[in-house]
Amino acid sequence: MSTSLETTTIKLFDYAGEFAENKDVAAKLRTEIILPNLANSNRVILDFENVGNTTQSFIHALISEAIRQYGIDVLDRLLFKSCNDKVQSIIGIVTDYMQYEG
Alpha-helical segments (H) within 71-101: 85-97
Q: Is 4 in the site for another protein (CB under 8 A)?
A: no
How many other C-beta atoms can be found within 10 angstroms of the C-beta atom of residue 70? 17
Q: Is 50 in the site for another protein (CB under 8 A)?
A: no
Helix (H) or strand (E) holding 65: helix 56-70
Task: Write the interaction track for another protein spanning residues 59-98; mark x where CB under 8 A is met and - where it is not.
Answer: -xx--xx-xx---xx-xx-xxxx-xxxx-xxxxxxxxxxx
Helix, strand or coil for residue 4?
coil
Binding site for another protein (CB under 8 A): 17, 19, 21-24, 27, 30, 45, 52-53, 55-57, 60-61, 64-65, 67-68, 72-73, 75-76, 78-81, 83-86, 88-102
